[in-house]
Amino acid sequence: MIRSYLTMVAVGLFVFFSYCDHGYSGKFNKVVDIGDQAPAWKNLIGVDNEQHSLKDHKDAKAVVVIFTCNHCPVAKAYEERFKGFVKEYQDKGVDVVAINVSNIEADRLDKMKIRAKEQEFNFEYLYDPSQEIARKYGATCTPHSFVLNEQRQIAYMGKFDDNMEIEKVKYHYLRDAVDSLLGGEKPEVEETLQVGCSISYEEQG
Amino acid sequence: MIRTSWRQGGLCAVGIAVALLFVVGCGSDGSDSDQPAAEQLPAEVPTAHPDSEQSSNENETSQATEIAVVAADAEVYQQVLDKHRGKVVLVDYWALWCIPCIQRFPHTVKMQQEHGNEGLAVVSMSFDDPEREGDVLEFLKKNNASFDNLICQVAEDKDCFEVFNVDGGALPHFKVYDKTGKLRHTFATDPLAERQFTSSDIEEKVKELLAE
């Protein structure tokens, strides 16, 4: 009897800690925090049919990682901004990598290729059907962005900017963060709450 | 009975209650779920709208209520929750730009139709730009959303997703409050979860709270 109570105590405490101390690492991110070493992806296929890894960007002063997809209207609304950012920052040593982990029909690799071509993406667009890389970054929605500094630590994460309607944007969080890093400073705003379409995570086997 | 009580877990309160129950109250098993929570509540559900000046048609039967959308900040939201004290409240956070939200919305309407007379109140909260209120209303009418429909409108320096604690900033998102007005279940995208929530999960939790 005592043993069963002890078991129940253990269960109770487990429930308590697993739900209460749900361990938000960042303010809004359950998995990673500012300053953490960025999870590295290896050999993810891109729309160019090549394999891509984080270490390919070893010379970059900063790497911007954006979890995105084809179908989400919010992600689509940002594509032009991503392209504009690349144009502006590629000569400053900033690389941009977009990663899709959604396996719904509209987001699969063949559709990614079509989207990248139609929209003339000027950045890597990679596919991780295992969804592992997004889980490692604690990505929740598309778009969800991260800025990695020269040491490949997470220096900023969250929104690209503060409004999905470009004409209403007031705060360019990601751009400001990158500017700070390029100027040798820590970003003033290191984390914002990303907003967008839920990432369709599949059941983990 | 203890097992059923912790299986409902998912919220801190349940964990704490269970932990305390076991740690402190080993001799008093059986008291937890037998506690008639409903008896501690106001017996009657207030039906009048506190913001009645905003709704022209105040029919009691939800089916006949004119479908409207009301701009809401945290305060208005709380007023709506308070109005439904004594009922289980399901809140569906959605947006026109969120495809899965659009797909799930009929289920939310169905929940109201099937469980409305068992003590469920449904509230919808759109995160669309308030300038799109017309499109939001059109969608709500088309879907027969005969319940409290809100559209988030917060101060300029605030973010709807933060104000309303939408974990991970991802839609769809749902919250379920019990009859005492306490937030009991949150359904959010979780990159750590073995599986993401489904409409059946929401329905299951709603039914559990209705039975309390």
What chain A holds in terms of domains, given with CATH numbers, is: 24-198 (3.40.30.10)
How would you list the strands of the sheet with B170-171, edge to edge? A141-142, A196-198, B170-171
Q: What residue type is A195 in one-letter code?
A: V
Contacts of A14 (CB under 8 A, 6+ apart): none
Q: Give me the residue spans of the domains in chain B.
A: 1-35, 67-212
B169–A195: do the CB atoms touch at under 8 Å?
yes
**Which residue among A19, A138, A196 places its CB closest to the CB of B9?**
A19
Q: Give residue-wise pLDDT tens across range B102-154.
A: 999 999 999 999 999 999 999 999 999 999 999 999 999 999 999 999 999 99
Contacts of B114 (CB under 8 A, 6+ apart): none
Q: Give residue-wise pLDDT tens across range B22-56.
A: 433 333 333 333 333 333 333 333 333 434 434 44
| Mean pLDDT, range B186-197, rounded to an integer | 95
pLDDT at B12: 40
- The yes-or-no verdict on residue B15 having pLDDT over 50 is no
pLDDT at A26: 83
Please name the residue of chain A whose CA is at the shortest distance from the CA of residue B2: A8
- The topology under which CATH files domain B67-212 is Glutaredoxin (3.40.30)
Q: Give residue-wise pLDDT tens across range B152-172.
A: 999 988 999 999 999 999 999
pLDDT at B50: 39
Which chain B residues are Cβ-neighbours of A198 within 8 angstroms?
Answer: 98, 100, 168, 170-173, 189, 196
**Which residue among B12, B97, B191 places its CB closest to the CB of A19?**
B12
Which chain B residues are Cβ-neighbours of A195 within 8 angstroms?
Answer: 159, 161, 169
B154 part of contact set with chain A, CB < 8 Å: no
A19–B14: do the CB atoms touch at under 8 Å?
yes
pLDDT at A142: 98
pLDDT at A200: 95
Rounded percentage of chain B residues whose pLDDT exceeds 90: 68
B98–A16: do the CB atoms touch at under 8 Å?
no
pLDDT at A10: 54
A148 part of contact set with chain B, CB < 8 Å: no
A138 part of contact set with chain B, CB < 8 Å: yes
- The yes-or-no verdict on residue B175 having pLDDT over 70 is yes
A71 part of contact set with chain B, CB < 8 Å: yes
pLDDT at A18: 43
pLDDT at A3: 58
Contact of A32 with A26, CB cutoff 8 Å: yes
**Which residue among A18, A19, A141 places its CB closest to the CB of B169?**
A141
Rounded percentage of chain B residues whose pLDDT exceeds 70: 69
Q: What is the DSSP letter of A37?
A: B
B25 part of contact set with chain A, CB < 8 Å: no
- Report the C-alpha gap between B77 and B70 in whole angstroms: 10
ipTM topping 0.90: no
Residues of chain A with pLDDT under 70: 1-23, 205
Question: Where on the phi/psi map is residue B131: left (φ > 0), alpha (ψ -120 to 50), or beta?
Answer: alpha
pLDDT at A150: 97
Chain B nearest C-alpha distance from A198 (Å): 5
Contact of B123 with B62, CB cutoff 8 Å: no
Please name the residue of chain B whose CA is at the shortest distance from the CA of residue A75: B97
Residue from A143, A152, A147 nearest A187 by CA: A147
- Report the C-alpha gap between A107 and A101 in whole angstroms: 8
Radius of gyration, alpha carbons of chain A: 19
- How many cross-chain Cβ pairs, A to B, lie less than 8 Å apart? 131
A86 part of contact set with chain B, CB < 8 Å: no
pLDDT at B154: 95
